[in-house]
Structure 1
Amino acid sequence: MQTPNLEVNLRSAVRYVLAPALAIVLAIGGLAGALAQTDPLPSWNDGAPKRAITDFVARVTKQGGPDFVPAAERIATFDNDGTLWTERPFYFQLAFAIDRVKAMAPEHPDWQTRQPFKALLEKDTKALAATGEKGLLQIMAATHAGMTTDAFASLVRDWLASARHPRFNRHYDSLVYQPMLELLAYLRANGFKTFVVSGGGVEFMRPWMERVYGIPPEQVVGSSGVVKFDVRADGKPELIKEARVEFIDDGPGKPVGINRFIGRRPIFAFGNSDGDLQMLQWTVAGSGARFAGIVHHTDAVREYAYDRDSKIGRLDKALDAASAGGWTVVDMKQDWNEVFPPLVTAGEVKR
């Protein structure tokens, strides 16, 4: 009979290193079924948030139960920045745009004297901040438009394969939250269809989300710019990204985007900021069993700690709404025993 410590060690080995090999050995030994019944959310500490999730899933999937929801209606929506991956020191799509400006600068000598590009290239954060939203839109237009959607997707994939976070020195797509990866898999194993509903650009997110989250492009809802159909001189059709905004999928835009692109009200939603408030309100306003969750960034050691006074990922009104509505608030420091996926190669997670 295995001791408790040995069982814990076996589970740890399965999670981090030896999953494929141990799965074969345990199957031969007749123990695979036992391990299959182990905790589906191992990176979540036992506590109220974890129990709220598992209890909700049990209720809505119990055939004949009072809260049963048919699989077709088990829609779960997740914000991305700050909910599924880190959003500090600034949104990762902005980091991509900044790196694109640096790469494109030799082809645009006028940027050396023209704002906001001059401030960015000189790392003058004060001058860059002074350009405000107009400056940000100029940067995004210069780095995201005037190319085909295929070319842009290729740039995003190349950037993720090379760029590293300034604090953690890891690829940006390795700074996803391990507990949320487990939650996505757990929901899908129980018949849920998982969607990302984010203020980030949809063309920026779709090239990598299936690989990282298991969420296919057609289940990614985001902000979008105008895309134009064109036919090249050689007769080949293509889609060209233009420097015009079509739809902002943030705040009140999120339930609008859900209605427009998904067509079903979710029964389960997770966010982390005031930008997710309306999505959470829309979710719980439906009939039957409903779940609204918020990731509260409280761990300055393993990640970051911020909420009401933050300019990025501000969590103020949504935190009050969670308290008033009995929503599930996940305290990152207390409720997660892991934050990021473990490193399984020299300095990086498995890609």
Structure 2
Amino acid sequence: MRILATASCLALISATAHADPLPSWRDSDAKTSIIDFVESVTDPASDSFVPAPDRIATFDNDGTLWTEQPVYFQGLYALDVLKEKAAEDPSILSSDLLRSAAEGDVEAVMAAGVEGLLEVINISHADTTVEAFQSDAYDWLTTETHPATGLPYAEMVYQPMLELLAYLRDEGFTTYIVSGGGIDFIRAFADEAYGIPPWQVVGTEGNTRYEVVDGVPQLSKDGGVTFIDDKEGKPVGIIRHIGQRPIFSAGNSDGDFAMLEYTTAGEGARFGMLVHHTDGAREFAYDRDSDIGQLVRGLDEGPERGWTIVDMAQDWDRVFPSDGRAER
């Protein structure tokens, strides 16, 4: 498996990092604050020095490392899978919501909120092995295209964030994804897209069962959710999977507030960052009134807490590895 665009970008970033670690970031306060922080915690002579094992950085995924509009990509994937399953067995459509979802009614699913999305995922993500699910998700992400940009979903990662991940790792940080998205879904692409291996992915977890079928041990997904890694669940997921408080956390919505709050409440040098979606020409502009990625408390309280608010339109010279898209 290979995500060509992002894999080649990661290699290019690594080769050019010595010149400018963040070449797609404009020379602004946001870029300066990141570099100043990294230099301070990696300089042994600095009072803010942090040993490499403690340089833990956590990143939300949807809206922070890649696009999340008009619907979380995992939700769109779930709708496609549900439609395929319903064609074979219509009896799985046991509610009005599921019937609407199978017809591609995204608005109906969004109106049902998180519970509605989980109902769709509960059916679409069940009765498959973990390996088969990840393989199918990877194929979907690399072949299906986004309705607004025409890019494969896997290529809608943010070039400036790829550079930031590479920069941190070059400076001795260990980078983790801490996402409300499904852990198996993210693990299907995170290593190739971001250089983050499966064991450094924290996400929402579903029921998983071990069994031996025809002499072959396997793990099967049974649907349902056992842990939601969102909002106050993110610090819980961090301590369960990572075991220590990060010193750097990045998100884009109030769903990430608790993670940034937990990170920056620790002793010593700390960094909290929020990506503010202000670029309706190259990506999407949204914050307070959005059904996806709502950002209210972070905008109101982030600056006074010392968090860096990244203005996508002002602080990023590029958005996607493909040099962005033309204005709509």
Report the TM-score, using the length of structure 1 for normalisation: 0.85
* CA-CA distance at 1:239 after TM superposition: 0.8
* CA-CA distance at 1:122 after TM superposition: 3.4
* CA-CA distance at 1:265 after TM superposition: 0.5
Q: Which residue of 2 aligns with 1:29?
A: none
Q: Which residue of 1 aligns with 2:125?
A: 144
Letter matched to residue 145 of structure 1:
A
Q: Which residue of 2 aligns with 1:8?
A: none
The alignment partner of 1:116 has SS state of helix
Tell which structure's C-alpha radius of gyration is larger: 1
Identity, in percent, stands at 53
Find the aligned partners of 1:327 and 1:180 in 2 and give their Cα distance.
Answer: 17
* CA-CA distance at 1:105 after TM superposition: 2.6
Find the aligned partners of 1:168 and 1:256 in 2 and give their Cα distance.
Answer: 35
Select 1:324's aligned residue among 292, 304, 308: 304
Q: Which residue of 1 aligns with 2:204?
A: 223
* CA-CA distance at 1:110 after TM superposition: 3.7
Q: Does 1:276 align with 2:256?
A: yes
What are the residue-to-residue correspondences of 1:325-344 with 2, within 5 Å? 325-342=305-322
Find the aligned partners of 1:51 and 1:132 in 2 and give their Cα distance.
Answer: 38
The CA RMSD over aligned residues, in Å, is: 2.3
* CA-CA distance at 1:236 after TM superposition: 1.3
* CA-CA distance at 1:142 after TM superposition: 1.3
Q: Which residue of 2 aligns with 1:308?
A: 288
Q: Which residue of 2 aligns with 1:106?
A: 87
Change (3 A) 1:328 1:127: closer
Letter matched to residue 138 of structure 2:
R
Change (3 A) 1:130 1:298: closer
Select 1:86's aligned residue among 59, 62, 67: 67
* CA-CA distance at 1:313 after TM superposition: 0.2
Q: Which residue of 1 aligns with 2:3?
A: none
Letter matched to residue 67 of structure 1:
S
Change (3 A) 1:125 1:340: closer
Note if contact 2:208-2:221 (Cα within 8 Å) is conserved in structure 1. yes
* CA-CA distance at 1:113 after TM superposition: 8.3
* CA-CA distance at 1:64 after TM superposition: 2.5
Q: Does 1:256 align with 2:256?
A: no
Find the aligned partners of 1:343 and 1:298 in 2 and give their Cα distance.
Answer: 17
* CA-CA distance at 1:118 after TM superposition: 2.3
The alignment partner of 2:207 has SS state of strand
4+ aligned runs moved over 3 Å, structure 1: 110-114, 121-135
Change (3 A) 1:272 1:162: same
Report the TM-score, using the length of structure 2 for normalisation: 0.91
Letter matched to residue 221 of structure 2:
K
5+ residue gaps, structure 2, are 1-7
The size of the alignment, in residue pairs, is 316
What are the residue-to-residue correspondences of 1:44-63 with 2, within 5 Å? 44-63=25-44
